[in-house]
Amino acid sequence: MLKTVGVKTLDDLFDAIPKEHRFPELDLPPALTEMEAAAHLADMASSNENVRQDLISFLGAGAYNHYIPSVVDHMLRRGEFYTAYTPYQPEISQGTLQAIFEYQSLMASLTGMEVSNASHYDGATATAEAVNLAFAQFRGKRKKIVMSPSVHPQYREVIRTYSQGMGLEEAGDDATNSGSGPEALMSLVDDKTMMVVVQYPDFFGRVYDYAKLIEDAHAKGALVCVVANPTALVMLKTPGEMGADVVVGEAQPFGIPLWYGGPYLGFFTTKKSYVHKMAGRLVGETVDARGNRSYVLTLTAREQHIKRERATSNICTNQGLLALAASVYMSTLGKQGLQEVANLCYQKAHYAANELAKVKGFSIKFDEPFFHEFVLQTPKPAGEVNQYLLDHGILGGYDLGADYPDMKNHLLVAVTEMNSKDEIDTLVEVLKEM
């Protein structure tokens, strides 16, 4: 091969590299064989305490422990899916393309919206892309966003990071005002507002009907983005029915493992009229030269590789394989299985809330309806309660004091179908003895 290339040694291929920096000695551990590496990684993994084998978990706050049917991973392990690239050559990528088209359809059906894109990195970045959409829609003529303080704190942080170059005015994002509902937001919406961002159920688990807020925001000409939990949407009125313009969220609960925070799956659905301002990949139906129904990446001229600095976003990829996971999850559980999951979450969370409210010193903070997550007021700082629970092998919930200064004695508790009655009873018993 070297002879064909016309050089004597491999090193001769690198003459263009500045000599004093060429071939550095890398201080890395020596190579392991597969057998050694597998053992090493198994050691590292087992030094964690996980929520299936070691700990009872009531931790949610944006990532949820759900059962994943076996078939999901069997499909993800098909090399034809996971070792393919972005479907630039549709003739030999129809598997990926039809799977994404179906994912788009499933998500649009779930959220009650007209269109979905092929997905974003996660729920937080999908929310930031919703703000980008609003900015592009108003072409910078409206620059104010009204953000509820009960949108996930990390999502709000990501929006602030993303929008650093836009010169946005923010209102509503006041962590000391955590108890307020949607009415409090409306007074902040004016004719400079490009978008209102709310969460459903909100970060504290509360379920509000946003129809009135959306109607009022529309009267001022503003768009409304609803950040939604997909499991809750199986049971609850859809943001589409409420009139939302953009519905985004984290689809990790749909067949994606907790995986210490990622990769997850940001879903993004909207109305057809905003599709040209929406970032991200999009698959559309067409026919091929032989008359076969088939699918292609479409409206690609919106995207960075053509529109370059005028594009809404620089995003190129989607979370392809994880969109497939969500599709297989939804298909395998199907309508009835999903309803069973949602109902189990709802019933168990309410059982837990009812029982916890009976423990002396503890109470449920809010009166609003909730789905599978609620705020538990604790007699001591939540951090101390969590440490005590951890000593008993329980992950108690999310300490809200970290993000909301007036909620130091509050835990955000999540309950899913994975929590048995025994686990809930154990939590209650342990807290009784605290």
Partner 1 sequence: MNTPSNLKYAKSDEWFDPATGAVGISDYAQNQLSDIVFVEILVDEGEEVTVGKAIASVESVKASSEIYAPAAGKVGAVNKGLSDKPETLNSDPYGEGWMIKIEGGAMGDVMDAAEYEKYCEGRAH
Partner 2 sequence: MAEIVEPTIFELSSPGRRGVTMPASDVPTVDLPPKHLLRSELPLPELAEVDVVRHYMKLSSFNYSVDSGFYPLGSCTMKYNPKINEDTCRLPGFLFTHPLQPIETVQGNLALMYEMQEWLKEISGFAGVTLQPAAGAHGEFTGVLMMAAYHKLRGDTKRTKMLIPDAAHGTNPASVGMLGFTVVTIPSDSRGNVDLEKLKAACDDTVVGMMLTNPNTLGMFDEHIEEVVKLVKDCGGLMYGDGANLNALLGIVRPGDLGFDVMHFNLHKTFAVPHGGGGPGSGPVGVSQRLADFLPSPLVGIIEEGDDETAPLYGFVTPKNSIGRMKAFHGHFGGGLVRSYTYILMHGPDGLKDIAQYAVLNANYLQARLRGTYHIPYDRICMHEFVMEGKFEGSDVRALDISKRLMDYNFHPPTNYFPLIVPEALMIEPTETENKDTLDRFADALIKIAEEAKSQPDLLHNAPITTKFGRMDEVKAARELVLCCWLPENYEEMV
The stretch near partner 2 (CB under 8 A) out of 120-128, 179-187, 222-230, 357-365 is 120-128
* Chosen residue from 328, 382, 428, 431 binding partner 2 by CB under 8 A: 328
Residue 294 or 363: the one with the smaller Cβ distance to partner 2 is 294
Q: How far is the CB of 117 from partner 1 (least distance, A)?
A: 16
CA distances from 45 to 37, 49, 134, 172, 260 (A): 12, 9, 42, 41, 11
The stretch near partner 2 (CB under 8 A) out of 59-67, 169-177, 180-188, 357-365 is 59-67
Q: How far is the CB of 178 from partner 1 (least distance, A)?
A: 39
Taking the CA atoms of 302, 227, 419 and 204 in sequence, report the sign of the dihedral they define: positive
**Neighbour order of strands in the sheet with 144-147:** 115-116, 266-270, 246-250, 223-228, 193-200, 144-147, 169-171
The stretch near partner 2 (CB under 8 A) out of 177-185, 188-196, 219-227, 420-428 is 420-428
- DSSP character at residue 103: H
CA distance linking residue 228 with residue 239, whole number of Å: 8
Decide if 385 contacts 396 (C-beta within 8 A). Answer: yes
Residue 291 or 433: the one with the smaller Cβ distance to partner 2 is 291
Decide if 328 contacts 70 (C-beta within 8 A). Answer: no
CA distance linking residue 113 with residue 230, whole number of Å: 13
Rule CB under 8 A: say whether 367 interacts with partner 2. Answer: no
Q: How far is the CB of 249 from partner 2 (least distance, A)?
A: 11
Pick from partner 1, partner 2, none: which does 63 bind, CB < 5 to 8 A by kind?
partner 2
CA distance linking residue 62 with residue 317, whole number of Å: 22
Residue 82 or 361: the one with the smaller Cβ distance to partner 2 is 82
Q: How far is the CB of 3 from partner 1 (least distance, A)?
A: 39
Pick from partner 2, partner 1, none: which does 123 bind, CB < 5 to 8 A by kind?
partner 2
Residue 101 or 190: the one with the smaller Cβ distance to partner 2 is 101
* Chosen residue from 8, 89, 391, 433 binding partner 2 by CB under 8 A: 89
Residue 224 or 330: the one with the smaller Cβ distance to partner 2 is 330
- Tokens for 7, please give them: 């050089």
The stretch near partner 2 (CB under 8 A) out of 84-92, 177-185, 216-224, 356-364 is 84-92
Residue 191 or 307: the one with the smaller Cβ distance to partner 2 is 307
Half-sphere exposure of 339 (CA within 13 A, CB side): 3
Pick from partner 2, partner 1, none: which does 302 bind, CB < 5 to 8 A by kind?
partner 1
Q: How far is the CB of 139 from partner 1 (least distance, A)?
A: 6
Rule CB under 8 A: say whether 348 interacts with partner 2. Answer: yes
CA distance linking residue 116 with residue 103, whole number of Å: 8
Binding mask 135-174 for partner 1 (x = CB under 8 A): ----x-----------------------------------
Q: How far is the CB of 59 from partner 1 (least distance, A)?
A: 44
Q: How far apart are the first and last CA of the chain?
A: 73
275-308 burial, b for 16+ CB within 10 Å, e for fewer? bebbbbbbbeeeeeeeeeebbbbeeeebbbeeee
Rule CB under 8 A: say whether 309 interacts with partner 2. Answer: yes
Rule CB under 8 A: say whether 291 interacts with partner 2. Answer: yes
Decide if 382 contacts 409 (C-beta within 8 A). Answer: yes
Within residues 293-352, the interface with partner 1 by CB under 8 A covers 299-302, 306-307, 310
Binding mask 16-45 for partner 2 (x = CB under 8 A): xxx--xxxxxxxxxxxxxx--xx-xxxxxx
**Neighbour order of strands in the sheet with 363-364:** 363-364, 373-377, 410-414, 398-399
Residue 186 or 235: the one with the smaller Cβ distance to partner 2 is 235
Q: How far is the CB of 399 from partner 2 (least distance, A)?
A: 9
CA distance linking residue 340 with residue 207, whole number of Å: 19
CA distance linking residue 416 with residue 419, whole number of Å: 6
List interacting residues with partner 1 (CB under 8 A).
139, 276, 299-302, 306-307, 310
